[in-house]
Amino acid sequence: IVSGQLLAYIVSAAMSLLLHDPSMWRYMLSLAMIPGVLLFIGTFFVPASPHWMVAEGRINEALRILRKLRENPREIKKEMAEMRQNAREARQGPPARELLKEKWIVRLLLLGCGMGIVAQFTGVNAFMYYTPIILKSTGLGTSASIAATIGNGVVSVIATFAGIKAISHFGRRPMLITGLSVVIAMQLALGAVLILMPHSLVQSLLALACILVFLFFMQMCISPVYWLLMSELFPMKVRGVLTGSAVAFQWICNAIIALAFPPLLSLVGNNAFFIFAAINVASLVFVAVMLPETRGKSLEEIESHMREHFGESTTETAASA
């Protein structure tokens, strides 16, 4: 994703510098069809989920896929045994429609939707989409503002590789809490820079620095953890519908931020960044209070842990949330 964003930034900057055409945005939009077509073709080469294969009784196919995804034969054997046991229990348990009515499942779905709010209401896409507008407000020229967004793409790519490393060493909760803490600090700093400083090159550079630090911690600590959690949180029997619903809600939040940011900036000016900071304080509290740790657990262990955490015996705090 972030590599594609970097490529888009480079292409847009090159077109801005080379083509002085008021209709340039139409060409940029048309180019987006190319990766869309490639993505469609690529879907035909994505292997099916081994968990789904086992649930359908296609054991040999599941084993063949798992051997491509895992290196340790003992790990493959253990995971296959867990998946087969989980599939047997799923067939013995209540049907999926009945399971969706259970309170712990509803709470899990709300947690997944809440994580969509956490990921999108950081304001990340306000920065990814509208950095040129933010930089132009400091007095930077149009072409220079578009070119500066290449920094967004470079930082995002570096941060994603750092995030992949960090995920294998640190828990989901500490990464999210760290990321949100830095995000809040950078939004407060950006708001202060834009409001208190006069328009100048120094203001432009400080604003860009705040945006880049924000993006580094966002793309290292929050975005990869969100997508990983979407594949971990939900029980296998209803994973498809719950993951689909939670991710769809996340994209609705994405659209809300994308559509609301320009009028919000017009209405309250640079105070918009203080509003985002306040929202992220609430997100930080939500993660600290509500999100269980999933690192180091198999999908089957996570399901058992989630049932215990969000089930009828859960604490009053979790139940009321």
Q: Is residue 82 part of a domain?
A: no
What pLDDT sits at residue 314?
A: 40
Q: State the pLDDT at residue 315.
A: 42
Residue 69 lies in a domain: no
Q: Identify the CATH number of the domain in which residue 197 sits.
A: 1.20.1250.20
Determine how many CB atoms are found less than 10 A away from the CB of residue 180: 24
> What is the structure's pLDDT at 113?
94
Is residue 279 one of the residues assigned to a domain?
A: yes
Q: Is residue 262 part of a domain?
A: yes
- The pLDDT value recorded for residue 319 is 40
pLDDT tens-place values along the chain, 321 residues long: 889 889 888 888 888 878 777 778 888 888 888 888 999 999 998 888 888 888 888 889 888 888 888 888 888 888 888 888 877 776 665 566 666 777 778 888 899 999 999 999 998 888 887 888 888 888 887 778 878 888 888 999 999 999 999 988 898 899 999 999 999 999 999 999 999 988 888 998 999 999 999 999 999 999 999 998 888 888 777 778 889 999 999 999 999 998 998 899 889 888 999 999 999 999 999 999 888 887 877 766 777 777 777 765 444 433 443
pLDDT of residue 96: 62
Domain assignment present for residue 85? The answer is: no
Q: Does residue 159 lie in a domain region?
A: yes
Nearest partner of 123 among 226, 254, 291, judged by Cα: 254
The answer to the question of residue 131 being in a domain is yes
Is residue 159 within 8 A of residue 219, CB to CB? The reply is: yes
Residue 209: domain span:
95-320
* Residue 158: alpha-carbon gap to chain centroid: 16
- How big is the chain by its Cα radius of gyration, in Å? 22
CA distance 309 to 89: 19
pTM of the model: 0.74
Count of all residues that appear for the chain in the document: 321
Element (H, E) at 123: none
| pLDDT score, position 90 | 67
pLDDT score for 312 = 54
Considering its fold, how many domains does the chain have in total?
A: 1
Burial class for 213, CB neighbours closer than 10 Å (0-12, 13-18, 19+): middle
Considering the domain boundaries, does residue 271 fall inside one?
yes
Are 213 and 181 a contacting pair, CB within 8 Å?
A: no
